[in-house]
Amino acid sequence: MANSNASYTLNAKSWISFLLPVLILISLFFAWVSNQNPILALAISLGLPLAIAAFVSVRYGFYLLVISSALSRFFIPLSWGNLRIEQLVFLIVILGLALRFLPKRNVSLRSIKIDQVGALVVFWVLANILSSLLYSPDKVASLKICLWLGFSVGIYLLTKNIVGEKLSIQKAVKAILIVGVLEAIYGLAVYSSFLLGKDIGGVQIDPVVFIPKVYGTIWEANIFGAFLVSIALIIFNLLLSKEYTKFKVWLWGGFFLSFLGVIASFTRSAWMILVAFLFISLLISIKFFLKRPSLLVSLVIFISIFAIFLNTSFLGASIIEDLGRTYFSDYSTVTFRLIRINLALNEWKTSPLLGLGTNSFGQRYYDPSQKNAPDYLGTLFGQNLYDTGIVGLGLILALIFLQVKKGVKFLKLSSDPKYKVLMKGLLIGFLALIVMYQSTSAFWFGFNWIYLGLMSAIYEKGLQRSLVNE
């Protein structure tokens, strides 16, 4: 047994000592031959240790994927397009995992399990490709977005197959929550710096209402708000359970920070949806509250302190002003979105079955409030109807319905209270994102697919474990 372990260690070190210099040379050669920005070579070179980390430990590979999902603001410019950090990290992690597992005789591509949700996602991407080839004015631009969607499928399948097999479900959820809270801390830090007169990035000025909005390291403020809404809801549902009471100080701190982060994003839909789904979580856990009045008192104290903070701070005054401009001005952001939805629905009728091509709305129309940049159709369902028609929208609706059905089934059948709490938090967080994406969609970003992969992993591994225990 000792010889076997020594052999594995020797083989791992040999692989590392061989791969690191070779891959660095390959990345530099690629940058030179393709006349790319040297930043690409630097990024790949720095990414090689990450591939080695994924090769040595599957757990580290997943952690890298989670961290990169919160860095959607950053990308590497290439001659053929932009490579986002989460996409680069995904490729790096896949490389490391492939080198780790494929040489083994009992591991092959057939070991990757594709469930019904995975199959629906694959067909959805294929529908996007077909619609783009047939109807997009700029087919190359649309197919690049389809490639991005393909990365999303990969992130889902990777998460689903790793979590529960090579990494515990609790550690996977913990990693997401830690990254989410750190993102909130960073966002609040750059917002505070901006208010003090020093702009260090991470804050944007709304072109319609002219209010500073935090985006941190996320693509933009609406998506920053959506991400932290899901984090806050997961943490809140953990707070409502007795299984995680020993972590309540850390959980309350994380909830407070993520809550503040949502407020600082100045995303009205995020505010309203967070409040609505917090209320739903309370209704679901009303029996738990009746048995633990101290927790209810703590929640009331938190709400009271937060109300005082809003009433006596610049942040609170900005919120009131922002809401007034949004819902009572002559040309609000709500009106702005409704005009585009109406325009998209009228044009969709010309190709109802397959739509008009992925992300093609911005190829046909321009946004005057963004210096005539390509326009954007915000609503998730409207976007899918326009891009991929009834077929694509039907696949997305089936995916959401199936995932919710699996989540509810797990909550009914599972006998493991810790897994049930995690599933409930993820399910409520996911549903909140879907509702919010009817205002500003970000469904193709990596963190959504990590959530979906986690929910599928909990359903399969957690339910299987419960049945075995019974």
Q: DSSP readout, 170-234?
A: HHHHHHHHHHHHHHHHHHHHHHHHHHTT---SSEEE-TTT--EEE-TTSSSHHHHHHHHHHHHHH
Q: Could you tell me the maximum CA-CA distance found in the chain, to the nearest angstrom? A: 77
SS (H, E, C) 318-375: HHHHHHHHHHHCCCCHHHHHHHHHHHHHHHHCCCCCCCCCCCCHHHHCEEHHHCCEEC
Q: Are strands 366-367 and 373-374 parallel, antiparallel or unpaired?
A: antiparallel
Q: Beta partners for 366?
A: 374
Question: What integer is the mean pLDDT of 189-213?
Answer: 83
Contact 238, 421 (CB under 8 A): yes
* Per-residue confidence band for 370, with pLDDT thresholds at 50, 70 and 90: low
Q: Are residues 288 and 365 in the same domain?
A: yes
Q: Are residues 323 and 440 in the same domain?
A: yes
- Give the separation between CA 408 and CA 423, rounded to whole angstroms: 9
The pLDDT score that the predictor gives to residue 465 is 62
* Per-residue confidence band for 186, with pLDDT thresholds at 50, 70 and 90: very high
Which helix (DSSP H) or strand (DSSP E) does residue 451 occupy? helix 446-457
The pLDDT score that the predictor gives to residue 411 is 87
What values do phi and psi take at 373, rounded to 5? -75, 165
Q: Does the pLDDT at position 5 exceed 50?
A: no
The one-character DSSP state at 167 is B
Contact 222, 439 (CB under 8 A): yes
Percent of the chain whose pLDDT exceeds 90 = 27
The one-character DSSP state at 1 is -
Residue 351 domain-assigned (yes or no): no
- Give the separation between CA 164 and CA 158, rounded to whole angstroms: 12
> Considering 110, 140, 167, which residue would you say is the last residue of a domain?
110
88 vs 22, residue with greater confidence? 88
Question: What integer is the mean pLDDT of 378-387?
Answer: 88
Three-state DSSP state, 35:
coil
- Give the separation between CA 144 and CA 354, rounded to whole angstroms: 18
* Per-residue confidence band for 179, with pLDDT thresholds at 50, 70 and 90: very high
Which two tokens mark 376? 């954007």
User: Which of 48-52, 151-155, 428-432 has the weakest average pLDDT?
Assistant: 48-52
Residue 185 domain-assigned (yes or no): yes
The pLDDT score that the predictor gives to residue 136 is 93
The pLDDT score that the predictor gives to residue 209 is 64
Q: Are residues 327 and 412 in the same domain?
A: yes
Angle of helix 221-239 versus helix 446-457 axis, rounded to 10 = 30
Q: Which of 443, 440, 27 is nearest to 206 (CA)?
A: 440
The pLDDT score that the predictor gives to residue 328 is 43
CA 245 to chain centre: 27
* Per-residue confidence band for 295, with pLDDT thresholds at 50, 70 and 90: low
The pLDDT score that the predictor gives to residue 455 is 93
> Considering 78, 110, 142, which residue would you say is the last residue of a domain?
110
User: Which of 99-103, 130-134, 233-237, 314-318 has the weakest average pLDDT?
Assistant: 314-318
Domain that holds residue 76: 1-110
- Give the separation between CA 370 and CA 358, rounded to whole angstroms: 21
Contact 341, 379 (CB under 8 A): yes
Q: Which of 169, 168, 212, 209 is nearest to 193 (CA)?
A: 212
Residue 425 domain-assigned (yes or no): yes
- Give the separation between CA 387 and CA 377, rounded to whole angstroms: 10
Q: Does the pLDDT at position 214 exceed 70?
A: yes
Q: Does the pLDDT at position 312 exceed 60?
A: no
Q: Are residues 165 and 57 in the same domain?
A: no
The Cβ of residue 309 has, within 10 Å, a number of other Cβ atoms equal to 13
The one-character DSSP state at 205 is E
Residue 148 domain-assigned (yes or no): no
Q: Are residues 312 and 386 in the same domain?
A: yes
The one-character DSSP state at 82 is E
Each residue of 321-352: b (16+ CB within 10 Å) or e?
A: ebeebbeeeeebbeeebeebbebbeebbeebe
Q: Are residues 180 and 76 in the same domain?
A: no
Q: Are residues 399 and 298 in the same domain?
A: yes
Q: Does the pLDDT at position 290 exceed 70?
A: no
> Considering 110, 140, 169, which residue would you say is the last residue of a domain?
110
- Give the separation between CA 419 and CA 431, rounded to whole angstroms: 18
The pLDDT score that the predictor gives to residue 54 is 65
Q: Are residues 88 and 208 in the same domain?
A: no
Q: What is the DSSP string of 375-434?
A: P----HHHHHHHHHHHHHHHHHHHHHHHHHHHHHHHHHH---HHHHHHHHHHHHHHHHHH
Q: Are residues 242 and 376 in the same domain?
A: yes
Question: What integer is the mean pLDDT of 362-384?
Answer: 80
Question: What integer is the mean pLDDT of 262-289?
Answer: 81
Which helix (DSSP H) or strand (DSSP E) does residue 146 occupy? helix 139-162
The pLDDT score that the predictor gives to residue 451 is 94
Q: What is the CA radius of gyration of the chain?
A: 23
Which helix (DSSP H) or strand (DSSP E) does residue 83 occupy? strand 81-84
Question: What integer is the mean pLDDT of 102-129?
Answer: 74
Residue 389 domain-assigned (yes or no): yes
Q: Does the pLDDT at position 16 exceed 50?
A: no
Question: What integer is the mean pLDDT of 25-52?
Answer: 55
Residue 67 domain-assigned (yes or no): yes
Q: Which residue has the tokens 């492939």?
A: 98
- Vertex 445, ends 72 and 385: CA angle to 5°? 140
- Give the separation between CA 102 and CA 115, rounded to whole angstroms: 21
Residue 345 domain-assigned (yes or no): no
* Per-residue confidence band for 74, with pLDDT thresholds at 50, 70 and 90: confident
* Per-residue confidence band for 396, with pLDDT thresholds at 50, 70 and 90: very high
The pLDDT score that the predictor gives to residue 12 is 46
Per-chain mean pLDDT for the chain: 77
User: Which of 49-53, 105-109, 131-135, 454-458 has the weakest average pLDDT?
Assistant: 105-109
Question: What integer is the mean pLDDT of 31-50?
Answer: 55
- Give the separation between CA 85 and CA 183, rounded to whole angstroms: 16
* Per-residue confidence band for 2, with pLDDT thresholds at 50, 70 and 90: very low
CA 48 to chain centre: 24
Q: Which of 263, 282, 232, 283 is nearest to 433 (CA)?
A: 232
Quick one: 121 exposed, middle or buried, by C-beta within 10 A (0-12, 13-18, 19+)?
Answer: buried
Q: Are residues 105 and 171 in the same domain?
A: no
Question: How many structural domains are present in the chain?
Answer: 2
pLDDT in tens, 405-453: 898 889 888 888 889 999 999 999 998 998 888 878 888 888 999 999 9
Q: Does the pLDDT at position 458 exceed 70?
A: yes
Q: Are residues 208 and 83 in the same domain?
A: no
What values do phi and psi take at 82, rounded to 5? -110, 135
Q: Are residues 98 and 188 in the same domain?
A: no
**pTM, full prediction:** 0.80
Question: What integer is the mean pLDDT of 445-468?
Answer: 82
Residue 163 domain-assigned (yes or no): yes
The pLDDT score that the predictor gives to residue 319 is 52
Question: What integer is the mean pLDDT of 355-359?
Answer: 91
Q: Which residue has the tokens 């019904």?
A: 116
